[in-house]
Homo-oligomer: A and B are copies of this chain.
Amino acid sequence: MYKKLKHYTDTLNYELEKTAKVMKILGMQVMEKLNISLFLDEYVALDIISCHQGICQRDLAKLIIKDRANTGRILNSLEEKGLITRFVDTKNNRLVRKMAITESGYKMLKNINKKIESYISETKKVVSEEELDGLYNSLKKVRERFEELIELKI
């Protein structure tokens, strides 16, 4: 006889889905409250580009966990707003489109970060830093092991 299955609402998958949704809503609430003029995805991409200057589109897609199609669309928007530049280069002997953050993009990013930092410092914490760090670390550890079982087709 096998071990009896839990009900779905008692599983890790359910709790993960729910927590991720709650945290995403919180994040977007903050973006709105602070009058930030970028979509969350755009901010995330801009932040990643800022610390991975010269990254190519597919590598960025893997980091933001979106497919290549949508990553391209997010980048179109960032480029139109003058926050990044794109240029053709090679990676492993192949032509790829790389990108870098512009002066204007950097200013925008700094400005947003300042707003968020200020907001965080003024807001009462509902969960201690240690607890959040602990959760982050165990999540990462578990995720990395499960990730080996699948292939994210990006």
Of the four ranges (under 10, 10 to 19, 20 to 34, 35 or more), the interface on chain A belongs to: 35 or more
Chain B residues near A23: list those with CB within 8 A.
12-13, 16, 146
Let me know if A44 is at the binding interface, CB within 8 A.
yes
- Number of this chain's copies in the assembly equals 2
| B24 & A17 in contact (Cβ 8 Å cutoff) | yes
Let me know if A29 is at the binding interface, CB within 8 A.
yes
Residues of A within 8 A of B (CB): 2-5, 7-9, 11-27, 29, 43-44, 47-48, 51, 63, 65, 113-114, 116-118, 120-121, 126-127, 131-132, 134-136, 138-143, 145-150, 152
| B150 & A120 in contact (Cβ 8 Å cutoff) | no
Q: B7, B114, B140: which contacts A15 (Cβ < 8 A)?
A: B140
Q: How far is the CA of A16 from the CA of B3 in the complex (A)?
A: 28
Name the CB-closest residue of B to A143.
B19
| A20 & B16 in contact (Cβ 8 Å cutoff) | yes
Chain B residues near A44: list those with CB within 8 A.
8, 14
Q: How far is the CA of A5 from the CA of B50 in the complex (A)?
A: 13
| B152 & A25 in contact (Cβ 8 Å cutoff) | yes
Minimum Cβ distance to chain B for residue A25 (Å): 5
| A22 & B146 in contact (Cβ 8 Å cutoff) | yes
| B2 & A118 in contact (Cβ 8 Å cutoff) | yes
| B136 & A138 in contact (Cβ 8 Å cutoff) | no
Chain B residues near A14: list those with CB within 8 A.
44
